[in-house]
Structure 1
Amino acid sequence: MTNMKKPSFNDTMLILVFAAAILAMPLWLDPFGGNYPDLLQKFAIYGIFAIGFNILFGLTGYLSFGHAAFLGVGSYAAVWSFKLLTMNAIPAVIFGVLFAGLLAAIIGFLSLRRTGIYFSILTLAFAQMSYNLAYSVLTPITNGETGLQLARSDPRILDKLFSDGPASAGLPSTELFGETMSGYPGFYFCAVLLIIGFYISLRIFRSPFGLMLKGIKSNQNRMKYTGLNTRPYMLTAFIISGMYAGLAGSLLAVTDPLAGAERMQWTASGEVVLMTILGGAGTLVGPMLGAGLIKYFENIFSSFDDSVLQQAFSFLPDSVLEIVVPVVGLFVGSGWHLTLGLLFMIIVIFLPGGLVEGFRRIFNYFTSGGGKAETQSVEAHNQAGE
């Protein structure tokens, strides 16, 4: 990634607007009921996960179904850092990123020998092997189905070495130089790392390295005919993407210090694919939007039970209320997956470029006097990369 240009004025404005929007999330999400810390932390963490996945899938077109393995490894590495070294979040994040990057280098080196659906199946197989290893064979390291948790007997060498007073009677909390990483402090720690991750992603998109990845996505065979070896570029993108996943996994452990094999299941890999496609694969902010949408549905829509619906539609006559509540209840509460599935179908059919394409069409419709936005092609959207 040599000869990387400085960010343009538009890119600088994009970064500033993105940072302001992320840091102000507790304010503008308040009317939508999504301003509580646990949900805000998930928005930021899975935003990092999706942005990293987009570097691989959005730029190169290589669809990985195994990124949950790096998410899980990041969590395990972070919890072991808490157990062995210190409750400070910085070493945990560093170890989570490094171990995920190491695993990504191994899996990527083997998987990238194939392309297309064969690459996807290979990554899925490696992720499932990682899950089964964590669930059974590596029980001394992962604690199996119970999950890896903190214990009072943990050595925590650095904490004991620099501690001035007696150890606490209960389990310690994760912290950053004395500030507990729970609640809003935990969110802002994740938010700052999300902004940094977004900035790095932007620089990759704008760099010669990013342009090379886009060329691989456009026509890899033609690039090979010119004598270019594309595998080092692909492996680098795969490792960077895996390190983002490891960062997200370590932050899951920072905000809730435990790690379980369920974070390595194929469903977690499928979830990040949905996030990226919903928001807009190959765009800068799209994956973050998709992650936020899915986590909002998962945490807010899933809480709408019959009593909430009856209160919301209490203005209707009783005869109508008895019909409306059961029908709407199919799409919220435990049925929120149905709403998400319908939304995914609509976006894939009518907005292949995801939510970003939809926003762009609406913007162009009003700025061009109406109607002209419909002529915008999906190819032009992908080339814009925003």
Structure 2
Amino acid sequence: SVLTPITNGETGLRVLQSDPRILDTGGASDGPLLANLFGIEMTGWGGFYFCAVILLIGFFVAQRIFRSPFGIMLRAVKTNQNRMIYTGLNPRPYTLAAFVISGMYAGLAGALLCITDPLAGAERMQWTASGEVVLMTILGGAGTLLGPVFGAALIKYFENIFSAFNEQTLHEIFSFLPDFLEVPVVAVSSLFVGEGWHLTLGVLFMLIVIFLPGGIMEGFARIGRLFRRSASKAEPSRATAPAE
């Protein structure tokens, strides 16, 4: 490209083999750059465990913030900023601090993605990449800590499992059906798997928004209340004896 001498590559994102190395080994002359940390390769299981440790540390820090007086103020600002203003408190410093903290977590996630996946495709710049984060939060439960974790696991499960299904796999799954039923069932099911896994995710998103506005965490809370109610009904009622 004629812009290569100016931008150091067509997109300006090219990394040369002669560039200084800090967290990567440089890779082969014709292969991708492989990141490593103290000799531990960050691709594959090594990167998975490293990201898992960072996830636990980040979750612990978020939990400490959530349960602190500062976290209570953040929840109050989230509930109703006008009431906070009427009580004489300025919510702007708290909203600014929440924005900075969220930016720190987003930057950490981006850094982990860079070292675990050295290939940056154009799909990472699409609006759906940001929309996935919103879907994860809504599906799991906004305002909770575990909710987005469950939402991310659910979306990534659909992306990696449902998107791998094809017509051959569906024929193997529904092989127990007669031929006159197997063909239409596979034809309909193929719309929701493979390249159409977004359709399944959309249907699931609609069901959760309609029946569980609080996300998966609200469903867990309802199940917990149901079990506690059934347990309280199962306990024999103790009649109080009159005092003598």
**Aligned-partner Cα distance in 2 for 1:266–1:326:** 30
**Aligned-partner Cα distance in 2 for 1:305–1:261:** 25
TM-score normalised to the size of structure 1? 0.54
2:209 maps to a residue whose letter is V
How much does 1:227 deviate? 2.4
1:212 maps to a residue whose letter is M
The correspondence of residues 278-293 of structure 1 with structure 2, limited to 5 A, is 278-293=139-154
Residue 154 of structure 1 corresponds to 19
RMSD over aligned CA atoms reads 2.7
Which has the higher Rg, Structure 1 or Structure 2? 2
> Taking every aligned residue pair, what percent have the same amino acid on both sides?
65
Gaps of 5+ in 2: 234-244
Name the SS of the counterpart of 1:369 in structure 2.
helix
How much does 1:319 deviate? 1.2
How much does 1:347 deviate? 0.5
Name the SS of the counterpart of 1:148 in structure 2.
coil
Distance 1:319 1:169, change over 3 A: closer
How much does 1:149 deviate? 4.4
1:221 maps to a residue whose letter is N
1:356 maps onto 2:199 in alignment: no
TM-score normalised to the size of structure 2? 0.84
Gaps of 5+ in 1: 1-135, 373-386
1:140 maps onto 2:7 in alignment: yes
1:244 maps onto 2:78 in alignment: no
1:188 maps onto 2:49 in alignment: yes
1:218 maps onto 2:79 in alignment: yes
The correspondence of residues 1-386 of structure 1 with structure 2, limited to 5 A, is 140=7, 144=11, 148-156=13-21, 169-170=28-29, 172-259=33-120, 262-369=123-230
**Aligned-partner Cα distance in 2 for 1:211–1:175:** 39
2:34 maps to a residue whose letter is S
How much does 1:293 deviate? 0.6
How much does 1:251 deviate? 0.9
Higher helix share: 1
Query: Is the 1:286–1:354 contact (alpha carbons within 8 Å) kept by the matching residues of 2?
Result: yes
Name the SS of the counterpart of 1:281 in structure 2.
coil
Moved over 6 A (4+): none
Distance 1:239 1:264, change over 3 A: farther
User: How many pairs does the alignment contain?
Assistant: 227
The range that moved more, 256-265 or 339-348, is 256-265
Query: Is the 1:280–1:287 contact (alpha carbons within 8 Å) kept by the matching residues of 2?
Result: yes
Query: Is the 1:148–1:259 contact (alpha carbons within 8 Å) kept by the matching residues of 2?
Result: no
